[in-house]
């Protein structure tokens, strides 16, 4: 198989209050608005190379509208669409803003994905132009503002099946997975199209609602910027949901908080690069520190909330089966520091 995909290019989300979300991204995260089309607002980080990396679309609830990957070539776009349709996927071709001819489909677990080759490279206005040739524009003046989009993490009813399908059909490398200490239940996996530990995360979803998103992440250059962002968010009255700390998987510093729609945003930095073409994914357990490198604090239950909200009275509040809650949220009580 030729290399099909190169990297995550943008994430589109829905928000019940687009202007409240956009104001938050501009003032608290440090993104800038680049366009408005049919009610959708297009935003970017200061270091994103293309026209935009985030689209906020009007909707009745917070959700993933689509997650977009740039292919590795024009031929790879055609090949990816051919392979998807050979799998029975029924996608559609369309012309998208600043991405030209693109292929959009809904995967087997209900997640919209957009593939495109064409891009429009960001051209800064004179007042925003950097003095450095490689920078798309000047560094943001918002403290701790991310340089660029990093990854998206979705929720699905079968982590292993999801990972295997995206590996087999589109060539995502599977980098690691987490199973529970008590039972061979896969609760998390990370996949990548490049040398990063992941640009697509997968969490177990116990709800009956397909196509949900757990969070998406922006990259900051340094841990210090991540800590400054946390400091400033606290000063501005924005609750921090989890972190700052380090994930064992990927060894990335993380910080989670929510935008006004309640959708979860992550800032991250650090971690390894992995270029191994035949990497064999390791299996982690929560007690090994998959989520918390230091093995000294449990992940808050709220972190399992995915979007949109789970359906129906039979769904647990955050879509996590009752029988695995203890194993997920209190792994160190039973298993100590390992």
The residues of the shown chain that bind Fe ion, judged by CB under 5 A, are 153, 217, 266
CB 79 → Fe ion: shortest distance, Å?
29
Q: Between 103 and 219, whose beta carbon lies closer to Fe ion?
A: 219
Q: Between 148 and 153, whose beta carbon lies closer to Fe ion?
A: 153
Q: What are the residues facing 217 on neighbouring strands? A: 151, 266
Quote the CA–CA distance of 253 and 267 in Å, as a whole number.
8
Is-cis flag, bond preceding 308, omega within 30? yes
CB 10 → Fe ion: shortest distance, Å?
16
Q: Between 25 and 188, whose beta carbon lies closer to Fe ion?
A: 188
Q: Between 46 and 219, whose beta carbon lies closer to Fe ion?
A: 219
CB 285 within 8 A of CB 180: yes
Q: Between 303 and 320, whose beta carbon lies closer to Fe ion?
A: 303
DSSP category for residue 327: H
List % helix, strand, coil for the chain (3-state, nearest 5). Answer: 20, 35, 45
CB 316 within 8 A of CB 301: no
CB 327 → Fe ion: shortest distance, Å?
20
CB 67 → Fe ion: shortest distance, Å?
13
Residue 57's alpha-carbon distances to 26, 114, 238, 283, in angstroms, are 16, 15, 22, 37
Burial class, 240, CB count within 10 angstroms (exposed 0-12 / middle 13-18 / buried 19+): middle
Q: Between 24 and 188, whose beta carbon lies closer to Fe ion?
A: 188
Q: How many CB atoms lie within 10 A of CB 249?
A: 23
CB 215 → Fe ion: shortest distance, Å?
6
- Sign of the Cα pseudo-torsion (25, 248, 193, 108, in order): negative
CB 150 → Fe ion: shortest distance, Å?
8
Beta strands (DSSP E) in 186-308 are 186-192, 200-204, 212-219, 240-246, 252-258, 264-270, 282-284
Quote the CA–CA distance of 171 and 76 in Å, as a whole number.
11
CB 312 → Fe ion: shortest distance, Å?
27
CB 33 within 8 A of CB 22: yes
CB 123 → Fe ion: shortest distance, Å?
30
Q: Between 137 and 266, whose beta carbon lies closer to Fe ion?
A: 266
Q: Between 153 and 306, whose beta carbon lies closer to Fe ion?
A: 153
Burial 102-124 (b: 16+ CB within 10 A, else e): bbbbbbbbbbbbbbbbbeeebee
Q: Between 72 and 268, whose beta carbon lies closer to Fe ion?
A: 268
Quote the CA–CA distance of 87 and 61 in Å, as a whole number.
31
CB 83 → Fe ion: shortest distance, Å?
27
């Amino acid at each position: 198989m030729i290399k099909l995909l190169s990297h995550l290019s943008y994430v589109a989300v829905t928000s019940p209050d687009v202007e409240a979300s956009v104001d938050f991204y501009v003032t608290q995260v440090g993104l800038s608005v680049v366009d408005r089309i049919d009610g959708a607002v297009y935003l970017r980080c200061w270091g994103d190379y293309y026209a935009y990396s985030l689209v906020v679309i009007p909707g009745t609830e917070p959700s993933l509208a689509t997650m977009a990957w740039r292919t590795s070539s024009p031929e790879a776009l055609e090949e990816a669409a051919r392979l998807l349709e050979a799998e029975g996927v029924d996608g559609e071709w369309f012309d998208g803003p600043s991405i030209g001819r693109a292929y959009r489909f809904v995967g087997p677990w209900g997640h919209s994905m957009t593939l495109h080759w064409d891009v429009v490279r960001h051209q800064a206005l004179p007042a925003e132009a950097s003095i450095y040739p490689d920078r798309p524009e000047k560094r943001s003046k918002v403290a701790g503002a991310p340089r660029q989009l990093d990854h998206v993490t979705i929720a699905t009813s079968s982590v292993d099946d999801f990972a295997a399908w995206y590996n087999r059909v589109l060539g995502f490398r599977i980098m690691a997975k987490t199973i529970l200490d008590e039972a061979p239940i896969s609760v998390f996996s990370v996949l990548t199209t490049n040398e990063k530990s992941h640009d697509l995360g997968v969490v177990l979803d116990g709800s009956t609602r397909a196509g949900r998103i757990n969070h998406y992440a922006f990259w900051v250059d340094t841990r210090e910027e991540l800590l400054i962002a946390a400091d400033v968010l606290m000063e501005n009255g924005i609750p921090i949901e989890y972190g700052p700390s380090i994930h064992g998987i990927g060894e990335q510093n993380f910080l989670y908080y929510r935008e006004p729609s309640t959708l979860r945003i992550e800032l991250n930095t650090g971690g390894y690069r992995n270029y191994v073409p035949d990497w064999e994914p390791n299996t982690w357990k929560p007690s090994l520190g998959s989520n918390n490198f230091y093995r000294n604090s449990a992940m808050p239950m709220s972190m399992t909330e995915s979007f949109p909200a789970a359906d129906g009275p039979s769904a647990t509040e955050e879509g996590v089966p009752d029988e695995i809650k203890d194993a997920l949220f209190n792994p160190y009580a039973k298993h100590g520091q390992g």
